[in-house]
Structure 1
Amino acid sequence: MSDVPAPAPSAWNLANVLTAGRVLLVPFFAWAMLVESGDSVAGRLVAAAVFALAALTDRFDGWWARRTGQVTDLGKLLDPIADKLLVGTALVLLSALGDLWWWVTIVILVRELGITVMRFFLLRYVVLPASRGGKVKTVLQTVAIGLYVLPLFALPAWVGTLAAVAMAAALVVTVVTGIDYVRVAVRIVRTAAPGATRAARARDAS
C-alpha cells in the first residue's frame, strides 16, 4: 500500500468555476434590475432568471465539490463571498427601487456580515458550521428575494402577498438563527478560553 498522499484537488475545478461564475453574474443581474429604473417587465424577468440560475449553481457547486472530493480552501473562501454579494446586491437594489423597506435590508445584511465576521474570529477555536436553521434561512431568503425581483407591478396581487409572507418568514428566521449563532459562539469562547489562557501561561513560563 502506497504512502504517497493523494494530490490536492485543483483550485479551479468545476465547483469553483461555477462559484466564480456566480460572482460574474452579479453585475449582469444588477443591470437587468435597473433597466428603465426597475420598471421594465423584461428586465425584471431577466434579473429573476439570473438570480434563479445563480441560486441553482450555489446548490450544485457545494454538492459537486463534496461528492467528487474537490473541496478546496479557495472554494471555502469564495462561496460565501459569492452568496453574500448576490443577496446583498439584490436587497440593496430592491430597497433603492422602493420595492422593499430599507430596515429589512439593513437587518438582514447586518446579520449576514456580523455572523461572517464572528465565524472568522472563531477560527482560532473551531470552525462554526452552518446549522439546520441557517440552511432554512438561506432557502427562505432565496425564495423571498426571487419573488421580489419579479415584476410584481405587472403580476396578480397574490404574488406580491406571497412575496411579503416569504420575506417576513425569512426575516424572522434570519434574526432567530443569528441570535442562536451568537449564543453558540459565546459558549465556545467561554469553554475554550480557559484552556487557551493556560496554554499561554505555560508558554510564558517556559
Structure 2
Amino acid sequence: MTTAPTTSSAAQPSIYNVPNLLTTIRFFLAIGVVVLLAYQQIWPALVAFSVAAGTDWMDGYWARKYGQVTKLGRIFDPFVDKIIICGTFIALVAIDDSNVAPWMAIVIVARELLVTSLRGMIEGAGGDFSARWSGKWKMVLQCAAIIVVLICLGMLDAPAWLLQVGNATLWAAVALTLYSGWEYILAAARMLRENAKS
C-alpha cells in the first residue's frame, strides 16, 4: 500500500497572492512619493502617498481573512511601511516651509531601526514581538501629519488654522513615535529577563 507523500510546503500559501501584490504596489508608490517630493511635485506626491497609506490595511486584512499570510509578507509589509514613512519625512526635511525639522526625521528613522532590531532579536529567540496599539496609532498619526503638511505645501496660501493643525499633528506624531519606541524597549527588556530566568 502506497501513500501520497506529504510536504510541509503544501500547507504554505503561495507568495504570489493579492496581499504581496498590494505590498509591491505600495513599495513602488513609496519610491514615487520620494522622487516626486524631490522635484517639488506636491499634489502628485500627496495622491501617491494617500493611495499607499490607504491600502496599507488592505493587504493585512486580505491575508488574514483568506489565509494568505506568508513569511515574505510578514517581512516585506513592515519594510515597505518604513520606506514610505521614513522616506517621506526625510524628503520633507529638504522642502522649505514643511516645518519638518531634521531631528524629527532622525527620531522617526531611529525608532523604526530600533524596533526592527528588537523584533528580530526577540522573534529570533522564539518570542512574540507583535505590534502594539501605540505602534499602530503612531503610524496613523504619522500618515495624518504627512497628509496635512503636503496639503499646506500644495496650497498657495494655506489658512492659519490648517497650518496649526499640521504643526499639532506633526508634533503629536513625533511624541507618539517616542512613546511607542519606549514601550517597545520596555517590552523587549521584560521578555529578555523572562528568557534569562527560564
Does the alignment reach a TM-score above 0.5? yes
Kindly state the Cα deviation for residue 112 of structure 1 after the two structures are TM-superposed. Answer: 1.1
User: Aligned in 2, Cα 1:7/1:187: closer, same or farther, shift over 3 Å?
Assistant: closer
Distance 1:51 1:14 in 2: 20
Long gaps (5+) in structure 2? 1-5
Structure 2 counterpart SS, 1:130: coil
Aligned mates of 2:171, 2:189 — CA distance in 1: 27
| 1:11 aligned onto 2:9 | no
Are 2:107 and 1:107 equivalent residues in the alignment? yes
Which residue identity does 2:168 align to in structure 1?
A: V
1:189 pairs with one of 188, 192, 195: 192
- Offset, 1:102: 0.5
Which residue of the partner structure matches residue 144 of structure 2? Answer: 143
Indicate if the aligned counterparts of 1:25 and 1:54 stay in contact, CA closer than 8 A: yes
Task: State the AA in 1 paired with 2:188.
Answer: A
Distance in structure 2 (CA, Å) of the matches to 1:160 and 1:16: 37
Determine the structure 1 residue equivalent to 2:163.
160
The total of aligned residue pairs comes to: 187
Corresponding letter in the other structure for 1:145: I
Cα separation, 2, equivalents of 1:84 and 1:34: 18
Specify the alignment match of 1:118 in structure 2: 118
2:85: which partner in 1? 87
Partners of 1:68 and 1:139 in 2: how far apart? 25
Q: CA deviation at 1:89?
A: 0.9
1:65 maps onto 2:66 in alignment: no
Greater radius of gyration (CA) = 1
What's the Cα RMSD here? 1.7
Which amino acid is 1:89 matched to? G
TM-score w.r.t. length of structure 1: 0.85
Partner of 1:202: none
- Deviation, 1:179, is 0.6
Residue 125 of structure 1 deviates from its aligned partner by: 3.7
Q: Give 5+ residue unaligned stretches, structure 1.
A: 196-206
